[in-house]
Amino acid sequence: MKRDRIYLFKIDVLLLIAILLSVAGSVCNLVLPLFVRQFIDVRATSLMSFDSLLPILTVLMMGSIVNAVSMYLISVSGDRRIRDIRENIEEKLLKLPISFYKENASGELVSRIINDSLIIKEFTTNEVPNAIVSIITLIGSIGILLYLDLKLTLVIVLSFTIVAIIAYPLGKINEGYSFLIQDYLSKLSQVITENIQNIQIIKLYNAQKEVKHKFKKINNNIYGLSKKIDKIFSITGPIQTMFTLLAFLIIVLYGSTRVSQHTLSMGILASFMMYIFEIITPINTLANFYVSYSEAKGASKVISRIMNTTEEKVTGKDINGIKEPYIEMKNISFKYGKKSSLILKRVSVSFDSLKKIAIVGPSGAGKTTLISILTRLQEKYDGLVFLNGRNSKDYSLASWRSLFSVVTQENSIFSGSIRDNLTFGLIDKPSEEELNQALKVASMSKDIDKFPGKLDFDVGENGGKLSGGQRQKIQIARAYLRDTPFIIFDEATSNLDPESESEILSSIDELSSKKTLIVIAHRLSTIVNADKIYFLDNHQILGAGTHKELLRKVEKYKTFVNDQFISKE
């Protein structure tokens, strides 16, 4: 069975018990008309007594209790099902490579986790059990009806077969529209997510009208599709109801005629009327099952596509006993696709232990891509990366990444307290003394004293209650607490004001005697005192050395420096 079908038809023990109880409840409903028939026919020839009513009341009560327990178990199974699906998707997403996130919008992924998993849950725990019970009820009802009266049963089967034939095209029409609506809902979720994440820039650029127009366009598409479905049902619904009532009328007229001719008892006709209602519900359930299946199949296919995406390779040896680690990257070449141009072209760099190594160059030169390869966020590249002479891919992914702490220009602050952010990802939680030392190294101690609650101050979503400089300092303190041999500063001061930049540079210098620093920058103020600078331009290394050496040897570097007015020659 295909993986997307497995999601739809996976039945756990709890749901199986619930289905069996539903079947038992259905059996109670099936035998109830037989007791009613007996009661009516006996009453026609003798006096009514409580004893004759007792079987009816007993079966009715048993059916109600069994169905109540079944409904509860189905609900619990459904809640557990959606919990497990969401956990599985989230776990999978955490294992997928960065390239997957570049190709899939975050808002759409959120929609898949929340909306599509809900659709699958509803189908698995509601539609599937109902369909199973409906089939059993339908077969049982028809079997009993055949036993009671063959001719009247054939009239019922023929009448409702015509109704089913009329209802089938509705499912096909709905299938196409359900796929479209799911697609537009995921796009709408994406737009909403982007708008919330970028609300500040939307306001600053007075772009509310443009954003509203984009949202309105997708929302109107959903509204338009919904109107089309409403229009179809407004026409076909009454038609289907008319044919159902017509079928019911034919059965009643035929049965009444038989009763008047004394070829059918009133008790049997009453039983038939009850069984007709028993049959109508399963028929409607099975007719709706196809529509629900089509919708759930679409959701399941998308989730299966995520779950079948190749994960990052995580296996390998652990890194143990390396006292002075150094890393070499040799002849690294990279491009995003076969038709795209090279981002990196035969780049070779090395990072010696306890040195401050800088990679500098203009925006778009490939500096961040090089770091993605170094940290194995990007695995598909040409060339080799060595740790003390051994291939990086020999080591497990977790072990390799434990070599690095990264401070980025992007906002890497999570909602929660300052303490939560400082200890993020740490297995062994640091003491208060260690936390204070990290904040001191990051020049953040004075800022902490100003916050109510200090380390327990809630920073808000994405650290919205902090300044840009404070967010960067917390990242530096977090990197220090990780106690890794390499700390990477990827454009860590590019978005800061001069005062904040000066404090961050002091923090970097504070760490330079204790860690191997890898500093990525296009602003030379960050790295003029580096032990070694690699000048990356036009996707390749044009020179390597100290700041003064590069000024003498590499004309393009000198031009680059002069353009920024910070030459200290």
Triad 403, 407, 413: Cα angle to 5°:
115
Residue 491 neighbours by CB under 8 Å, 6+ apart: 367, 368, 408, 409, 520, 521, 522
Cβ atoms < 10 Å from Cβ of 310: 10
Q: 247, 160 in Cβ contact below 8 A?
A: yes
β pairing state of 540-545 and 532-537: antiparallel
- DSSP conformational letter for 458: B
Q: Which of 527, 528, 443 is nearest to 492 (CA)?
A: 527
β pairing state of 344-351 and 327-334: antiparallel
Dmax (CA) of the chain: 120
Alpha helices in 363-416 (DSSP H): 367-374, 397-401
Tokens of 47: 């006096």
Tokens of 287: 């007719």
β pairing state of 486-490 and 404-408: parallel
Q: 519, 526 in Cβ contact below 8 A?
A: yes
- Sign of the C-alpha dihedral computed for residues 561, 563, 565 and 569 taken in this order: positive
Residue whose entry in the numeric block shows the structure tokens 């109600």 = 64
- DSSP conformational letter for 113: I
- Helix (H) or strand (E) holding 386, with range, is strand 382-387
Q: What's the half-sphere exposure (Cβ side, CA atoms, 13 Å) at 417? A: 11
The rounded distance, in Å, linking the Cα atoms of 168 and 158 is: 16
> Is 295 considered catalytic here?
no
The rounded distance, in Å, linking the Cα atoms of 212 and 470 is: 33
Residue 102 buriedness (CB in 10 A; 0-12 / 13-18 / 19+): exposed
Q: Which of 354, 348, 336, 305 is nearest to 516 (CA)?
A: 354
- Helix (H) or strand (E) holding 344, with range, is strand 344-351
Of the residues 108, 491, 501, 503, only one is catalytic, namely 491
Tokens of 174: 């709905």
Tokens of 275: 């069984």
Active site residues: 491
